[in-house]
Structure 1
């Protein structure tokens, strides 16, 4: 009995598939497919004209604004390549924890003392403070490397002041 019911359902499903296939419609680019294309053309026609109407000055200002946003505060003061490669992607190029006005993954480290930073780095490396990313970055570094990074980050406020002058 089950086999008969399954067989009938299979025949019905195959029949419906055949009926849909024979109907054309959007499946084969028939008349329903063309209606969708026409609808898309009418929706984008007005937008295309609006984009093309921007004058050259506006385009240049948009480009300049995009460059300023992209640059952020990268030129505020110099940082080492070690800081750039290990810390800047999470804490920002200047340790502010912000990039283009948006918070980053890492917290603000700008303005912290070198001693506190060194203590935190040692605790992250040892596992007393839990952060997988920090531990992974700090494991290959020596105590001297940690001290050098902490000293550099501790100097950020003084470097920022010097860069303003």
Structure 2
């Protein structure tokens, strides 16, 4: 029985080899290899920048700047890395709910009291206030983390006033 399986396998493999050979050399170049070889000689000017390329670069730079601002790299005031990673993209780096004059997804937080902020965070985490994004961000945080967020955000108004003076 082993001999029969070995013979059938050998015939099958030889058949595949013949089929591949008759269709052209698949991995040794063939027609596809000629196309790739021809592509090496296509002359494309790489030093000439078009107006469209410059406009695209400006758009890319603006997008990059917006992402940096959204992540908390703006020149407002210092916030914790935890706030930057969890809150800044929706509520703004300074808790204003705006970034570069545009309204963000989250509401304004600046000026709210610590107790109110803490209660809201606990309610979002527990599901008493419905917001899947907030619940997802807070679900793995401890009570102490929520208190720290509330304390930090409550201090934003004082930091903003200090900057304006």
TM-score class, shorter: 0.5 to 0.7
Provide the C-alpha distance between the structure 1 equivalents of 2:84 and 2:114, rounded to a whole number of angstroms: 18
Task: Tell me the CA shift for residue 164 of structure 1.
Answer: 3.1
Contact 1:74 1:94 in 2 (8 A): no
Q: Count residues with an aligned counterpart.
A: 107
Show CA shifts across 1:78-103 (max 9, x none): 00000000000110111111111111
Show CA shifts across 1:119-159 (max 9, x none): 00000001100000000111111111000000000000111
Q: CA RMSD in A?
A: 2.7
- Per the alignment, residue 125 of structure 1 pairs with 125
Task: Tell me the CA shift for residue 160 of structure 1.
Answer: 1.4
Provide the C-alpha distance between the structure 1 equivalents of 2:100 and 2:93, rounded to a whole number of angstroms: 11
1:2-13 map, 5 Å? none
TM-score norm. by structure 1 comes to 0.57
Provide the C-alpha distance between the structure 2 equivalents of 1:163 and 1:83, rounded to a whole number of angstroms: 19
Unpaired stretches in structure 1, ≥5 consecutive residues: 1-47, 53-61
Provide the C-alpha distance between the structure 2 equivalents of 1:134 and 1:122, rounded to a whole number of angstroms: 10
Provide the C-alpha distance between the structure 1 equivalents of 2:97 and 2:115, rounded to a whole number of angstroms: 19
Of Structure 1 and Structure 2, the greater helix share is in 1
* 1:94 alignment partner, SS class: coil
- Per the alignment, residue 90 of structure 2 pairs with 90
* Counterpart check, 1:104 vs 2:112: no
> 4+ runs of 1 displaced by more than 6 Å?
none
Provide the C-alpha distance between the structure 1 equivalents of 2:121 and 2:156, rounded to a whole number of angstroms: 17
TM-score norm. by structure 2 comes to 0.57
1:43-62 map, 5 Å? none
